[in-house]
Amino acid sequence: MKFGYARASTEDQDTAVQEKALKAAGCERIYREKASGGRWDRPELQRLLDQMRKGDMLLVWKLDRLSRSLRDVLTIMERLGDCGAGFRSLTERPSIRLRQRGG
C-alpha cells in the first residue's frame, strides 16, 4: 500500500500541492500535519509509521517535508527498513526499498 505524508510548518501554509502530487502518485492514504519538521513529536507521522508493513511504500513530496533533522530521517528510514517498507520522495530520486535487518 502507498502511504503519503504531507506537512506544512505553520498554520498559514497548506499542503494542497503536496496532497495533489501524492494522490497522483497513487497514495491510498495521506497523513497531513501542521508542525515544524524539526520536531519528533508529530502525532500523524507517528500514526503513519505505526501503519507501515512489509511491502508498503511511504511517499513524500519532498524530503524536507518528512523532517528537517538528518537524525530523524535516519531514524525513520531505519523504522521503515525494520518493517520491510520502502520510501520515495516525488521530487528527488531514486525510490528506496529498504532491507530488513537480519534479512
Encode pLDDT of 58-99 as tens digits: 999 999 899 888 888 899 999 999 999 999 999 987 555 666
- For 55, the grid coordinates are 511491502
Q: How many domains does the chain have?
A: 1
- Residue at 103 is within a domain: no
**Which listed residue (9, 36, 67, 95) is catalytic?**
9
What pTM was estimated for this model as a whole? 0.84
Segment (H or E) for 18: helix 16-24
95 an active-site residue? Answer: no
Domain coverage including residue 49: 2-97
CATH of the domain at 62: 3.40.50.1390
Provide the 3-class DSSP secondary structure of residue 58: strand
* Whole-angstrom distance, CA of residue 35 vs CA of residue 80: 21
- In the chain, helix, strand, coil percent, each to 5? 35, 20, 45
Beta bridge partners of 53: none
